[in-house]
Amino acid sequence: MEIVSTVDELRARVRAWKQAGQRVGVVPTMGALHAGHLSLVQAARARADRVVTTVFVNPIQFDNADDLTTYPRTLEADARLLADAGVDVLYAPTAAQMYPPGFATRITVSGVSEGLCGGARPGHFDGVATVVCKLLMQTLADSAFFGEKDFQQVQVVRRMVADLDLPVEIVTCPTKREPDGLALSSRNRRLTAEQRQAALALPRTLEACARDIAAGADVAHALARATARLAAAGFDPVDYVELRAETDLRPLDAMPATTTRARLLAAAWLGTVRLIDGMPVPPPA
């Protein structure tokens, strides 16, 4: 695996692959890689001839300076994992390369970026959309791979790609979980042992809430009960627990009678660590 840090180096590799008729997949990441990222790499390898993984801790998507400073940076270990996983090129630009002096463009995707994490983290999705657009343009990949855990992010990226006619296929992969159910996240490594135990309440509460709603429980009551359970488990604050339509993220105050698929989405803090998770709610039997 080669490691490159400039667009010119990256494009030279991609150009040669494309001239040889090969399809290119990209897995955008912020590093601190775990099995969830590696499942995206596997999906990319199954669909593309060549795989680029990007590792870039994108400063403009952080609304909180501490979160940016403490975000785990483990490039050497990441590179080893990616090489073992069969990645062709690791693209790891610096912040100065991505955002040189004078950089003045932001992409705003309205609608799907509003509320949920967009409400709790002002500017976050502008930062995500801007960097993902740059990474897609820099790699000129045929397909790009994202995890469903960041469900709102996926909808933002899909909307942007459709609206800007970007010639790339967006592929999503299911959330990877620890054996006890906690969704894999680079932020999990910042949890203390006690917080790690408390964190289990997040998937368990969402599972119970999804079951209750699927069984016909009143949605507002089920969401309020889930919020209270998370607070009782030590999450403070609970940014949101909401039921949304999977396609356009519109809020649902009841289970849709139609074929619309519904998803529970939640974000909550344990100390200084913000965790997010989500689960589909099966349609009523």
Residues near ligand PAF (CB under 6 A) are 28-30, 58, 61, 128, 131-132, 150, 153
Shortest gap between Cβ of 271 and ligand PAF (angstroms)? 21
37: annotated active-site residue: yes
Tokens representing residue 132 in the block? 């993902």
SS (H, E, C) 205-266: HHHHHHHHHHCCCCHHHHHHHHHHHHHHCCCCCEEEEEEEECCCCCECCCCCCCCCCEEEEE
Shortest gap between Cβ of 21 and ligand PAF (angstroms)? 28
Beta-bridge mates of residue 54: 28, 91
Shortest gap between Cβ of 149 and ligand PAF (angstroms)? 9
Return the number of the residue (142 or 212) whose C-beta is nearest ligand PAF: 142
List 34, 37, 124, 221, catalytic entry: 37
Beta-bridge mates of residue 242: 265
Return the number of the residue (128 or 141) whose C-beta is nearest ligand PAF: 128
Q: Per-residue DSSP letters for 177-191? A: B-TTSPBP-GGGGGS
How far apart are the two ends of the chain, measured CA to CA in Å?
49
Q: Helix, strand, or coil here: 214?
A: helix
CA distance 18 to 22: 5
Return the number of the residue (133 or 252) whose C-beta is nearest ligand PAF: 133
Shortest gap between Cβ of 102 and ligand PAF (angstroms)? 21
Q: What is the set of active-site residues? A: 37
